[in-house]
Amino acid sequence: MSEILVQLSEAIIDGNVEDIVDLTEEALDDGIPAQEVLNKGLMAGMDHVGAEFKAGNMFVPEVLRSAKAMQASMDLLRPILAEAGVKHTGKLLLGTVKGDLHDIGKNLVGMMAEGAGFEVKDLGKDITPDQFVSAIKEYQPDVIGMSALLTTTMRVMGHTIKALEEAGLRDRVKVIVGGAPVTQEFANQIGADGYAPNAASAAELARKLVS
Amino acid sequence: MQVRKNNYTVNMTPTMQVLTENQIEAIYYAALAVLSETGVRVYDKEGWDLAHQGGAVVEDVQADSALVKMPSWMVDKARATLPQRIRVIGTPDGDGKRKYNMDLYKNTMYFGTGSDTPFTIDPYTQVRRRATYKDVRNLAKLAEALPNVDFFMSLGITQDTAVGTYDRWQYLAMLEATNKPINITAVDIEGLKDQLEMAYIRLGGKEEWKKAPCFSLYNEPVSPLSHSEEVIQKLLFCADNDIPIVYTPCPLAGATAPATLAGLMVQALTESLFGIVLSQLRKPGCQVIIGGLMSAMDMQTAVYPYGSPEMALLSAGYTEITKWMRVPEYETAGCSDAKCFDEQACMEAAINISTAAMIGGNMIHDIGYIEQGLCSSPHMLVASDEIISRTKRILRGIPVNADTQALDVLDQVGPGGHFLGHDHTYNRFKTENWRSALTDRQVYADWETSGCKDYQQRVQERMVEILEADAAPLLEPKMYQELRRICELADARHKDEELDVQMFV
Ligand code: B12
């Protein structure tokens, strides 16, 4: 493998936000196709980060720095990939549901998903079913992720899925749910496509659902 | 029971110090700077208008929120009317007497549970499952019986009742089993109104509430530096109705607050100071308790740790700030990140309870929490009661005076004798020495004969003993029906918000 791809994946692992843009340009100038830069450079690095995080050798702020480096490089690659007709990993639309103001877990899911190559649109917190519906129309996501940390607001996840059905959008998106009191059983009850107990597995789940 | 740290003629209570006075002042003045220069975001128009009328600068007004900056004199002014002492007294026994008195001011100390856990550990099967009405009642019964639990919070969400109105059902379950002061939670302002109504009924009228409220309300601003509509509306309602309000942020270092503990404290204090000022603008004398649940994110699991040394340390440091300010405060201890009642649970509770006690916070909550506040454990509650008792013994210290030095006794026994049969031992051993039926100190053979029971088993037995003990109902049937009716009416009003699938199977 070319030296520059190794350097790129190292820059991802080190969270080297400063040099990643130059390295990405250099790789493209060397004639390496954008897709290869993504898969063999960036994603190779992120896979390593993911494994190290799971093993307890890397920590949240380090993973987020890597994800940030990944995003900086993706900003360059995205238009080229789009032009070449390469399908991106996917678009994830995120929000904490209406009535709920807990957002740190949702933010973390968003950052981890970016690290996994997703284009993430975060609607914020206190999001109504209607807001989800219109955002789906506007952004055309592949996956929507809803977060709730209250038993009272968990109900809104069910209401939102209903609203998607009523708007005829349910088949167009995969729905994933999470948050501390949410469980797999609850996800099944309301007809979500998936549940994950933490941010890393949320990103993995989203990736599985779009592949 | 309350332990005053200013016992005897000079203060001989063992104490702990986390911050020096200079450090406290540095944090306080930094918080004033943040409140006046960075400002806080307020998501309630009534709230930002009130702040504006009181002298605050209101900027960047959006449809849903505004940035509010409060000059420091507003804090000085608010503190002049802020009560230094707040009393919450429990509900009356059969004889009409309200015997559980929580008198909160500098150096008094009370312990209580945490609230609203989605899960609980079943007292018999010891399996983790969703909490129910009966669990809340059981846990309240335990709290009623445990001598070192001074106030109660619903150690579980009632999840076999309607979801959107669970707060009223929880309150009913608590009133069924304890007369101790309660720190309630409310799903919204309507839930708060209903519970106040229930309290009036329980006390026999509003006048009795005026003498002393029987509950306080738990209310949390949103870190970092935001105050939601819900939180502001609750604060204003409490001010108008003489409900003591616990205004306590939950910042998490590295996630919703700076990663450095001092930075987190500055932020938390800014958040509480805003609440103090707004409350006093609404009604001078409004009763506010500030404090905290503060911790640093675990950067491997991304959880909010409840059993970490940082949690205990922050809680202790913040308590010192509130003492310096002379404002009643809320602290955290008796909680753990363990998933069951195990060695880790006990270790974490023992350390955070003793730290809290050595500092001496007013309302020390979250006894009985495991799994980062997501699960309650009746075992943890019973064990914590013992840990508190132990700690209180340490707080009694070693009084040193002519009487306790016992020179006369030493002289009588002299070299080589013993003290076993001496009157002095007979008279003093019970008050000098702490003991507990739960702690085992038998010799090995006796321990073996008594069934080789480890701590978990002994706690289990004690818990079951309390749960199964006959207890006269605390609510007359008529009173129960009246209270229940408020819950049912609330359910009827909110029926349409429920999901048509069963949420918790
Ligand atoms: C911090 C906190 C707050 C802060 C939140 C600040 C903020 N900016 O987010 C504040 C103070 C605002 C707050 C307020 C309240 N809180 Co609160 N809060 C917490 C606490 C202590 C930690 C939450 C947290 O940040 N965890 C860390 C993050 C990283 O974890 P996480 O959110 O669970 O997210 C992870 C996973 O769940 C998953 N995930 C999350 N979202 C998603 C989405 C998808 C799609 C997927 C796949 C995965 C996923 O991945 C994340 C990362 O690994 C929890 C206790 C707990 N241990 O959960 C209580 C807790 C959630 N709160 C609780 C309560 C009751 C409240 C209040 C109602 C209190 C009150 N009576 O006023 C208010 C409600 C305000 C509102 N309307 O939302 C209860 C909830 C009980 C329930 N189920 O109903 C809890 C459990 C504590 C308790 N026992 O009382 N709270």
The ipTM assigned to this model is 0.93
Q: Do domains A3-83 and A90-210 have the same CATH topology?
A: no
The answer to whether the CB atoms of B157 and A158 lie below 8 A apart is no
Count the domains in chain B.
2
Range of the domain at B406: 402-432
CATH class assigned to A90-210: alpha beta
Same domain flag for B464 and B406: no
Using a CB–CB cutoff of 8 Å, tell me whether B499 touches chain A.
yes
Domain residue limits, chain A: 3-83, 90-210
Using a CB–CB cutoff of 8 Å, tell me whether A168 touches chain B.
no
Q: Which residues of B110-139 are buried (b: 16+ CB within 10 A; e: fewer)?
A: bbbbbbbbbbbbebeeeebebbbbebbbbb
What's the gap in Å between the CA of A102 and the closest CA on chain B? 8
Q: Check if the beta carbon of residue A128 is closer than 8 Å to that of residue B468.
A: no
Q: What is the pLDDT of residues A105-119, one digit of tens each?
A: 999 999 999 988 899
Whether A90 lines ligand 1, by a CB cut-off of 6 Å, is no
Position A88 scores a pLDDT of: 74
For residue A100, report the distance from its CA to the centre of ligand 1, in Å: 9
How many CB atoms are located within 10 Å of the residue B483 CB? 22
Same domain flag for B408 and B474: no
The answer to whether the CB atoms of A104 and B187 lie below 8 A apart is no
| Longest CA pairwise span in chain A (Å) | 55
In single-letter form, the type of residue at position B392 comes to K
The answer to whether the CB atoms of A198 and B254 lie below 8 A apart is no
The answer to whether the CB atoms of B503 and A154 lie below 8 A apart is yes
Bridge-based pairing state of the strands B226-227 and B182-184: unpaired
For residue A102, report the distance from its CA to the centre of ligand 1, in Å: 5
Exposure of B378 in the CB half-sphere (CA atoms within 13 A): 33
Position A116 scores a pLDDT of: 87
In tens digits, what is the pLDDT along chain B, a chain of 505 residues? Answer: 445 554 444 557 888 999 999 999 999 999 999 999 999 999 999 999 999 999 999 999 999 999 999 999 999 999 999 999 999 999 999 999 999 999 999 989 999 999 999 999 999 999 999 999 999 999 999 999 999 999 999 999 999 999 999 999 999 999 999 999 999 999 999 999 999 999 999 999 999 999 999 999 999 999 999 999 999 999 999 999 999 999 999 999 999 999 999 999 999 999 999 999 999 999 999 999 999 899 999 999 999 999 999 999 999 999 999 999 999 999 999 999 999 999 999 999 999 999 999 999 899 999 999 999 999 999 999 999 999 999 999 999 999 899 999 999 999 999 999 999 999 999 999 999 999 989 999 999 999 999 999 999 999 999 999 999 999 999 999 999 999 999 999 999 999 999 988 888 7
Using a CB–CB cutoff of 8 Å, tell me whether A185 touches chain B.
yes
Whether A184 lines ligand 1, by a CB cut-off of 6 Å, is no
For residue B380, tell me if it sits in a domain.
yes
- Which CATH number goes with the domain that contains B500? 3.20.20.480
Position B47 scores a pLDDT of: 98
Closest CA to B74 of B58, B56, B57: B56
User: Candidates 2.40.128.20, 1.10.1240.10, 1.10.10.350, 3.40.50.2300; correct CATH number of A3-83?
Assistant: 1.10.1240.10
Bridge partners of B130, per DSSP, are: B119
Q: Which helix (H) or strand (E) holds B78?
A: helix B72-81
Q: Check if the beta carbon of residue B68 is closer than 8 Å to that of residue B295.
A: no
Mutation choice for A interface testing from B499, B502, B504, B505 by most A CBs within 10 A: B499
Q: Check if the beta carbon of residue A197 is closer than 8 Å to that of residue A162.
A: no
Same domain flag for B381 and B407: no
Using a CB–CB cutoff of 8 Å, tell me whether B166 touches chain A.
yes
Position B6 scores a pLDDT of: 47
For residue A42, report the distance from its CA to the centre of ligand 1, in Å: 33
What's the gap in Å between the CA of B9 and the closest CA on chain A? 49
Position A149 scores a pLDDT of: 97
Position B7 scores a pLDDT of: 43
Same domain flag for B292 and B428: no
For residue B373, report the distance from its CA to the centre of ligand 1, in Å: 10
Same domain flag for B345 and B425: no
Same domain flag for B89 and B138: yes
Using a CB–CB cutoff of 8 Å, tell me whether B254 touches chain A.
yes
Position B5 scores a pLDDT of: 52
B463: which residues sit within 8 A by CB, 6+ positions away?
A: B123, B142, B378, B379, B382
Q: Indicate the top mutation candidate among A92, A102, A112, A153 to test ligand 1's pocket, ranked by most ligand atoms within 8 A of CB.
A: A102
CA distance B153 to B207: 24
Per this entry, what is the length of chain A?
A: 211
Give the A window 58-77 contacts with B, CB below 8 Å.
Answer: 59-61
Same domain flag for B300 and B426: no
For residue B143, tell me if it sits in a domain.
yes
Bridge partners of B104, per DSSP, are: B86
Q: Check if the beta carbon of residue B335 is closer than 8 Å to that of residue B114.
A: yes
For residue B17, tell me if it sits in a domain.
no
Same domain flag for B389 and B413: no
- What residue in B sits closest to A186 (Cα-Cα)? B503
The answer to whether the CB atoms of B163 and A155 lie below 8 A apart is yes
Position B270 scores a pLDDT of: 98
Return mean pLDDT, chain A: 94
Nearest CA residue ID for atom 30, ligand 1 = A105
Q: Which of B119, B164, B256 sits opposite A104 (nearest CB)?
A: B256
The answer to whether the CB atoms of B503 and A60 lie below 8 A apart is no
- Strand ranges for A54-190 from DSSP E: 91-96, 119-122, 143-147, 174-178
Q: Check if the beta carbon of residue B1 is closer than 8 Å to that of residue B393.
A: no
In single-letter form, the type of residue at position A206 comes to A
Using a CB–CB cutoff of 8 Å, tell me whether A49 touches chain B.
no
Same domain flag for B377 and B452: yes
The answer to whether the CB atoms of B252 and A151 lie below 8 A apart is no
For residue B142, tell me if it sits in a domain.
yes
- What residue in A sits closest to B223 (Cα-Cα)? A102
Whether B268 lines ligand 1, by a CB cut-off of 6 Å, is no
For residue B71, tell me if it sits in a domain.
no
Whether B157 lines ligand 1, by a CB cut-off of 6 Å, is yes
For residue B27, tell me if it sits in a domain.
no
For residue A147, report the distance from its CA to the centre of ligand 1, in Å: 10
Using a CB–CB cutoff of 8 Å, tell me whether A101 touches chain B.
yes
Q: What is the pTM (predicted TM-score) of this model?
A: 0.95
Position B325 scores a pLDDT of: 97
Q: Which helix (H) or strand (E) holds B29?
A: helix B21-33
Q: Which of B118, B254, B256 sits opposite A151 (nearest CB)?
A: B118
For residue B49, tell me if it sits in a domain.
no
Segment A172-192 shows an average pLDDT of 97
- What residue in B sits closest to A191 (Cα-Cα)? B501
Using a CB–CB cutoff of 8 Å, tell me whether B164 touches chain A.
yes
Same domain flag for B311 and B418: no
Position B9 scores a pLDDT of: 47
The answer to whether the CB atoms of A199 and B187 lie below 8 A apart is no
Within B337-422, residue ranges assigned H as helices are 343-359, 378-395, 402-405, 407-413
- What residue in B sits closest to A150 (Cα-Cα)? B118
Same domain flag for B428 and B347: no
Tell me which chain B residues have a C-beta less than 8 angstroms from the C-beta of A155. Answer: 163-164, 497-499, 503
Q: What is the pLDDT of residues A41-90, one digit of tens each?
A: 999 999 999 999 989 999 999 999 999 999 999 999 989 998 888 877 89
Segment A157-172 shows an average pLDDT of 97
Q: Indicate the top mutation candidate among B304, B314, B372 to test ligand 1's pocket, ranked by most ligand atoms within 8 A of CB.
A: B304
A210 to each of A142, A173, A193, A194, B113, how far by Cα in Å? 7, 10, 11, 12, 44
Whether A145 lines ligand 1, by a CB cut-off of 6 Å, is yes
